[in-house]
A and B are shown apart, each in its own frame.
Chain A
């Protein structure tokens, strides 16, 4: 057990990130369990403790009497320096044991720019960085989460990936490791990996050989072991009613990013926005019943003492029983001093009405995401929102008493011209005009947040060449030149960060060497602007001899073998290609949940179906 010197804790910022003992944390005697998991989040405590996936895995694993699951987060840079100076290895917050002593270390991959933090945490743990260098003394390093669908850039570091929803898969993994240990570790590390490779959704990157064409594109990826499947298909929970939900989450002492009770309304979103990776990865829509959610909400409040409940999902306004649920939640909790907060809003007046019911008092601000400035471009990305929807929603918001509106957009979308960029400014001015029309005076505040589009694997835009840094910066400045009203404020993202994200979102396994080189030269916490070191990254690409633009800015041809083609979300590649064509043709694809099937392939391939409680009633 590691004991932290108070002198260290007195020196670092927010020391309670490192001291554990939180309410609802689970401490088991390692002598009495068969398997130990360190659930690692490659970012700081406040971010990791806000993540629902971590709570789910912690709950599912600790429910097993034979398993202990503990948490570990990336130490902030001040703590990392202290740990390195005092030779303190990375350890968990429950038992304070070194991560190195665990059987399995599981990282969640939420964001491409957290890869160096994974390497850094392995290094702090004293675990060999490359999977090929690990022996039976070392834990298995496994990962899950959205980026595992194209985890190739970190293939060299990871023993195996778990694709898709892990409620069921994680139990199989725990059971398999327990059995393998009990049997005396037959076949050593390779023996376990061989077993793992046979499970659905498990990908062991070392079991595949990749070759490349002269031009740098992939030639083929071939299994080098009989256990390795040619394609790995994601895991999915068919019915969310059938799986446990974490109603006793660990209570952070610190004020973390999302510090409230969270209920998950549904998984999946079939609106079909063509830029959205989550919309493809989590198909189809599967809802929880309102009565289940009400029960879970009460259990969480009883177990935590939270005073706020928030609703989560990919698009909560689409929950079929939203109005009923919200009304009942408010009713059920009004005497318990618990408030309900709404997630992001859909652009329609129904959402405004609901927001008004929930947010009786503070009319702080409303957020909408038109995503693109012109109707033409919204049609390209299949964002089913019209100018009229938008005007109605904003007018209703102003009538209801709001005066501040936040609008989110992307630039760098396929087919985009300066006319579309101008549409963003026009929309912002339109909002100011609408306020004057409704209220008869000036006074609205509009904030436009503009991010740069990063094409992601497994989407209709996976072939698209991302705009260069120079082009994005030109568009950012062009938009700036169009905004001359002090009631409109304009924020945009660093184009270089999006560029790097774009490289890793569609990269191949040769990039492992770049990540290693960048980390060796000090790259970490790349998602935090104060730590992002573009020069270090560019140097790393040069040192390894790879061209980042090849990954980010190159338009792929339809017949190119993509580095993630063997990792399947079950959405057919032909469907994505067809969607790309329809995008260019500005053709709409309708939501399949209550209309005709768009034949993406997920339901028949996985033997699942849309679960929509309104449609069934």
Chain B
């Protein structure tokens, strides 16, 4: 058994896939590639692949990670070539490497996600108002987002999940926002939720419904360093 880690994308073409649809798409590509991927034992065998972190519908990503168990090792370039032939538009396999069996699972290891939000500004809005809203958000101690789901209504202090300062740059009619979001064992916040708070609580003058949200980086961070999952030994 050999474990291989892949860095892939979720491009614009497939931005509106759910995580489940995205995972199924990759599994089908792996099956078409005829790579010797391992399956779980049991009556209903499933492919041994694991992902780092689920993306919402509408969110694209430059870097997603997945681990895949192979029943026999192959040269990395062979894996890459065979899989690339079968990947649909929007999924680019940028690199892969073998990792040790004991390497912690991606889901448990990654804890920092950096997003870029590109969103049209509201008519007549100026940069002063924009920067004021961002500054107010950055300096707040706490700020509450109310998450409504079929399971009920929950109030979340989203500031506890914000890592670095949020920055926004105005480019013509579009605002580019950079969010660093921590993923913790007790939860996290979605970039769309942060945007909602920026607009609804801090008056950021943008058309939030038209935002393009892209994950730029997915990292393993501790007090000393930030590395990508590909740098894990």
Contacts and interface: CB of A to CB of B under 8 A. Distances in A.
A257 interface: no
Given A15-B16, A15-B58, A305-B29, A361 B86 contact: no
B21 A254 contact: yes
Nearest to A17: B16
B90 A21 contact: yes
Interface string B203-230: 0000101111000000000000000000
B29 A337 contact: no
B29 to A, nearest CB: 6
A304 B32 contact: yes
Given A5-B210, A7-B210, A10-B58, A304 B16 contact: no
Given A21-B88, A305-B31, A255 B21 contact: yes
Interface residues of A, number: 28
A306 interface: yes
Contacts of A217: none
Contacts of A253: 14, 17, 21, 24-25
A254 B25 CA distance: 9
Interface string A307-342: 100000000000000000000000000000100000
Interface string B82-99: 000010111000000000
A200 interface: no
A19 B13 contact: yes
Contacts of B20: 255
Contacts of A15: 16, 57-58
B57 A7 contact: no
Interface residues of B, number: 32
A18 B45 CA distance: 32
Contact of B16 (A5, A16, A360, A362): A16
A22 interface: yes
B32 A19 contact: no
Contact of A19 (B16, B29, B86): B16
- Most A CB within 10 A of own CB, among B16, B31, B211: B16
A7 B192 CA distance: 13
A202 interface: no
A251 B16 CA distance: 16
B175 to A, nearest CB: 15
Given A21-B13, A21-B14, A303 B32 contact: yes
Contacts of A305: 27-32, 86
A31 B193 CA distance: 45
A487 B45 CA distance: 32
Interface of A: 5-7, 9-11, 15-16, 18-19, 21-23, 251, 253-255, 301-307, 337, 360-362
B193 to A, nearest CB: 13
A3 to B, nearest CB: 11
A337 B49 CA distance: 15
Contacts of A5: 210
Contacts of B103: none
A337 B45 contact: yes
A9 B207 CA distance: 14
A258 B39 CA distance: 24
B16 A11 contact: no
B116 to A, nearest CB: 14
A303 B31 CA distance: 10
**4 pairs of A and B residues whose beta carbons are closest in the complex:** A305-B28, A305-B31, A15-B16, A361-B43
B139 interface: no
B17 A16 contact: yes
Interface centre among A6, A251, A255 (most CB of B within 10 A): A6
B185 to A, nearest CB: 29
Contacts of A16: 14, 16-18, 21, 57
A9 B56 CA distance: 13
A253 B17 CA distance: 7
14 contacts: A6-B15, A11-B209, A15-B57, A15-B58, A19-B13, A21-B13, A21-B88, A23-B88, A251-B28, A302-B32, A337-B31, A337-B39, A337-B47, A362-B44
Interface in B53-67: 57-58
B199 to A, nearest CB: 13
Contacts of A9: 16, 58
A302 B33 CA distance: 8
Nearest to A5: B210
Given A16-B21, A21-B14, A253-B17, A307 B207 contact: no
A6 B56 CA distance: 14
A305 B29 CA distance: 6
A7 B14 contact: no
A255 B18 CA distance: 10
A18 B209 CA distance: 18
Nearest to A338: B31
Given A15-B16, A15-B57, A21-B13, A361 B44 contact: yes
A300 to B, nearest CB: 11
